Amino acid sequence: MKKRLFSLFLLLTLCFQLSYAYDYDYEFPMLVKVNDTYVKVDDFIFADDVYYVPAEQLANSLRVVVEREENSRKVSFIKFNDRLVVFNHRAKMYRDDKYVGVDLSVRALNRNGKIYLPLVYFSEFFGAEVSYSEKYNTYTISDAEIVVEDDAKLLSEELDKQLLWLARIVNIEARGDSLYKKLAVAGVVMNRVSSQNFPNTVYDVIKAKGQFPPAYYSYFDSFTPDAASYTAAVQALNGENVIGDCLYFNLKPFKWKPQEDFYREIEGDYFYH
């Protein structure tokens, strides 16, 4: 009898784990940060086991000057006395204005008139350090001398003001949960911002009376969210959505909501349209 009960327990545990399996397999869009600022990268190409990015767009984030020769496919990327000259899928390197050769291990890609170069190679050539977080699918480019211009930032000034508030509520409502769950919570907030039935800013949504109790905790307004919550908030503000048009979630099923409004359970919380 004990063996049967133990076997049943193991089976139920396995089923419970499998019910969330595809959540963790969700592939989050790649993010790129320059120091502490998320920057625009329109698209990525994965080739040769490395990520390629639109070189001119990344150059704008790294304060690298771009020069295109008229009637030529030659493009130069310049920062101080260092230069990369891209032509025919190869990059000629110049240091202190002196030609030092072609790195045959690096090739440039051309897609729809845009030049793509390896993100890590391009950043490091111009003096930055690069790290990658597999957990958050985020590249961080570090260079203390770079101040990112507004037109290179991923989030507008208005959205950036809402980022901290969204990250705070996500952190508390989904503390210790997966990035997928955090993004689901952020999605509910953003859906409310877009709905005519709720306030139109993150701050006003989470501070609405009786809606998000943690927003009234004494420490909430000075709380520093963790990295996972920031990542989920950035993804949500940038339009990523894993929760459809859900507007509600709760630790227990709502008695006042009809069953057809139920979307699904995610790690102990019930989400509703």
pLDDT of the chain, 273 residues: tens digit per residue = 545 544 444 444 444 443 344 445 677 789 999 999 999 998 999 988 899 999 999 999 999 999 987 777 789 999 999 999 998 889 999 999 999 998 888 889 988 888 999 999 999 999 999 999 988 889 999 999 999 999 999 999 889 899 999 999 999 999 999 999 999 999 999 999 999 999 999 999 999 999 999 999 999 999 999 999 999 999 999 999 999 999 999 988 888 888 888 989 999 999 999
DSSP 271: E
The verdict on 182 and 258 lying in the same domain is yes
Its domain, for residue 213, covers: 157-272
Question: Rounded CA gap, 6 and 12, in Å?
Answer: 10
Task: Tell me how far CA of residue 18 lies from CA of 24, 172, 253, in angstroms.
Answer: 10, 25, 21
CB-neighbour burial class of residue 273 (10 A; exposed 0-12, middle 13-18, buried 19+):
middle
**Per the domain annotation, does 83 fall within a domain?**
no
- Are residue 267 and residue 232 in the same domain, yes or no? yes
**Do residue 108 and residue 131 come from a single domain?**
yes
CA atoms lying within 13 Å on the CB side of residue 109: 16
**Structure-block tokens of residue 209:** 């009376």
Within 10 A of 92 (CB to CB), how many other CB atoms are there? 16
Residues 231 and 169 in one domain: yes
What residues pair up with 86 in beta bridges, in sequence order? 75, 91
123 and 214 inside one domain: no
Residue 119 and residue 208 share a domain: no
Strands 31-34 and 138-142, by their bridges, are parallel
Overall domain count for the chain: 2
Kindly state whether residues 233 and 252 are assigned to the same domain.
yes
The verdict on 125 and 173 lying in the same domain is: no
Please report whether residue 17 resides in a domain. Answer: no
